[in-house]
Structure formats: C-alpha cells, structure tokens
Homo-oligomer: A and B are copies of this chain.
Amino acid sequence: VSAAALNTLAIVGVGLIGGSFAAALRSAGLVRRVIGVGRSRANLERAVELGVIDQISSDAAQAAAEADLVFVAVPVQQTETVLGSIAPHLRDDAIVCDAGSTKGDVVAAAQRALGARFVQFVPAHPIAGAELSGVGAASASLYRDRLVVLTPTDATRTEAVERVQALWAACGARVVRMDAARHDAVFAAVSHLPHVLAFALVHQIAQRPDAADLFSFAGAGFRDFTRIAGSSPEMWRDIALANKDALLIELGAYRAELDALARCIAEGDGQGLAGMFESARSARQKWLKR
C-alpha cells in the first residue's frame, strides 16, 4: 500500500468532482472508508448505493474530525464557510484540499477560515468536465489523463502537497504546480475569457428584436463557438467575480485586439487581417498537434 493511502476520506460535496475523486481512490485501493457530507440526503443515499461513499454525515465538522483527508468540492463561494466550520475539528495530521476553478480567492479564504491550520490546506484545481453534475455522473476514470493544478503557498506543509499530488496521480491525473496568481492569470486567458466572450455573443444577439430570425441562420460554426455558453450561469458568475482582476486584464487586452482588428477592416488593410488570421490559424494547428 502506498504511503499516500488514506484510512478515512471525508468528501464535502458528493457530486461529479467529489464523487469521482472518491471513486478513483477506491478503485486504486487507496482509501479504506469514505464519509460523504452534503445537503441532499437523496444524493448521498445514491452515493452509498453506487459504492462511492460508505457513510453519510450531515455534519462536515464531525466528518472532518475523523478524516485523514477532507476533500471540499462545493461551489467556490461556499468554500470559506465550509473551511471555517471544519477548522476547529481537524486533526493535526489531517490534510484539507479543494477543487475550485479559481485559486487566489480560495487561498485567501482558507487563510482567513483555517488560521493556524492553513499549513494543512493544499489548493487544487482539477481540469475536468463540468457539463454533468451529481454523483450519478461520477466516475473512477474522470481524472484519467486530465490536468490537476496544485497551488501550494510557501506556508503549505511539504508532506501534505506531496501526498495530495500522489493521490491525484493515483487517480490518473497529470499534476502540475504553480502559484495561485499564475494559475488565475493562465486560466483567465485560456478559459475564463473565452467563456464570458461566448456568453456575451449569444446575449448580444438574443436581446435584439430580430433574434429569432438571426438564430435561424446560425450554423455549425456558431454552435461550436458558443458551446461553452451552455455552462452554468451561477458557476461562471462566481468565477468571473472570484477572478475579477485577472479577467479584467484579459478583457482589456482582448478589447485592444478588437480595436486593432476593427482598424484593419475600416482601413481595408487586407495584409494586416490576413497576417492576424494566419498567425492565429498556425498557432492553433501547432497547439492541436501537441
């Protein structure tokens, strides 16, 4: 048995993300007992039926008191409250980790909520599908070949980071580490910005008096471009606000890019346009080939 193996894992929020983490560790033989904590009794009973958790608890503090690892997989806005409620009950050797899409705000929330226990907290962002939800969608293979970004601080216990890294690796994930600010800047550029751009495009058309007519001529390109505008409005509101500073920098850079584009079009600068489009196409092809 690996040194990372857990006796008791507490999952706060037994949905797609939390349930898949439990299922993957169980499938790897790395956990003896899983306690599930959540608001929906029906969902937790389903999790027991599916063999994802062994035991139900309605009290995060009580579950945390028994756990080697507390995995918090709740909407980002609730993270601080959950961490605050478990802080006084954590064992000295317990590890706490999360799965939030933004990291600077989670680190700050954890510092406030955990106090001296902050050294036991390993911030993490597994990059995995968010289209489905609930424990019924959970799978032991969700994280296979997916990326998990850990953003420990200088204060985070080294052994805790290493153990969490080993557990994610056992789930099949590729684990990378970076600081929280870099994480937030990177995902603002390649994920958060595209999401808000897609929402903005659809919203902007949907508001027009001739929206129905316009949509009737939208094709496959429009469908793919706006696929991410089918994501959860609440989740993306939270991400946009949680990563406000980095996202505003990206929006500013993108608006400057659109200004340059509009200038090329207005001036009939075909060479400038073809240069931008060609550079984009070749960069994208290079990316897809990796």
Interface residues of A (CB under 8 A from B): 127, 129, 147, 149, 186-187, 189-191, 193-207, 211, 213-231, 233-234, 236-238, 240-241, 244, 247-248, 251-255, 257-259, 261-262, 265-266, 268, 270, 273-274, 276-281, 283-285, 287-288, 290
Give A149's nearest chain B residue, CB to CB.
Answer: B217
Nearest 8 CB-CB pairings of A with B: A206-B283, A233-B277, A202-B280, A233-B278, A203-B280, A190-B218, A204-B257, A237-B274
Residues of B within 8 A of A228 (CB): 221, 224-225
B199, B225, B251: the one contacting A262 at CB < 8 Å is: B251
Cβ contacts A to B, 27 pairs, < 8 Å: A147-B217, A190-B205, A190-B217, A191-B218, A191-B221, A191-B222, A193-B201, A194-B201, A194-B226, A197-B197, A198-B225, A199-B280, A200-B254, A201-B254, A201-B280, A203-B257, A203-B277, A204-B253, A206-B283, A215-B290, A223-B288, A229-B284, A230-B284, A233-B277, A240-B265, A244-B268, A248-B262
Is A225 touching B261 in the complex (CB atoms < 8 A)? Answer: no
Nearest CB in chain B to that of A266: its residue: B248
CB-CB nearest in chain B for A287: B215
A112 to B238, CA, bound (A): 55
Q: Which residues of B contact A258 (CB under 8 A)?
A: 197, 200, 251, 254-255, 258
Q: Find chain B residues with CB under 8 A from A186 CB.
A: 213-214, 217
**Given A186-B217, A193-B201, A274-B233; A265-B244 close (CB under 8 Å):** yes
- A280 touching B221 by the CB < 8 A rule? no
Supposing A204-B253, A217-B147, A217-B187 touch, asked if A199 and B277 sit within 8 A by C-beta, the answer is yes
- The answer to whether A254 touches B190, judged by C-beta atoms less than 8 angstroms apart, is no
CB proximity of A64 to chain B, nearest CB, Å: 29
